[in-house]
Amino acid sequence: MTTSTKRFKFSFFLATFFGVGLFPVAPGTLGSLAALPLAFGLLSLSLEAALFVIAVIFVIGVLASNAVEADLGSHDAKLIVIDEVVGQCLVVVLLEAFLPGLIDVMLLLVLSFLGFRLFDIAKPWPVGWVDSRVQGGFGVMLDDVVAALLAVLFLAGNYFAYALLVM
């Protein structure tokens, strides 16, 4: 086995989030589900530490996605789900930061999952713009970060609107 083959296998392992992306049906959704235990664990860290971990996974995701894209010859292949992991974790961590202790952790995880999947699948502007214009591993990762940020704004905004209505 050559060094480049070993590097590809390791990149493939990371980009597919330990093989989750190889599932034939809805690999992105499964990647988001598989990220929930990690996201839950990040809630035990400070906001800064959790964001640092997410940033490290983002960089690893860019590198792994670049390698897999180069080998497969396609942009943002469905089997790459490390981007969903970053996006899902980001929604959970930021939503808890915006709504500290205001909602049950299980509800936080469910709403984060639903909100992130909505924006990741629908790809409204600017998510779709980033997805179509930013190439390479950085583009693979960035559109999910943008989807995560929109999901956080949507979920937190709706929570605050609901809170105002019931007061």
CA dihedral over 89, 158, 120, 140, signed as positive or negative: negative
Tens digit of each residue's pLDDT (9 = 90 or more) over 87-145: 999 999 999 999 998 889 999 999 999 999 999 999 999 999 999 999 999 999 999 99
Contact status, residue 87 vs residue 144, Cβ threshold 8 Å: yes
Q: Is the pTM of this model over 0.85?
A: yes
Check whether 150 has a pLDDT greater than 80. Answer: yes
Contact status, residue 54 vs residue 101, Cβ threshold 8 Å: no
Q: What is the pLDDT of residue 101?
A: 86
3-7, 78-82, 139-143, 145-149: least confidently modelled range: 3-7
Query: Within a 10 A sphere around the Cβ of 32, how many other Cβ atoms?
Result: 28
Check whether 16 has a pLDDT greater than 80. Answer: yes
Tens digit of each residue's pLDDT (9 = 90 or more) over 47-72: 999 999 999 999 999 999 999 999 88
- Tell me how many domains the chain contains: 1
Q: What is the pLDDT of residue 3?
A: 54
Mean pLDDT value of segment 37-55: 98
The domain of 117 spans 3-166
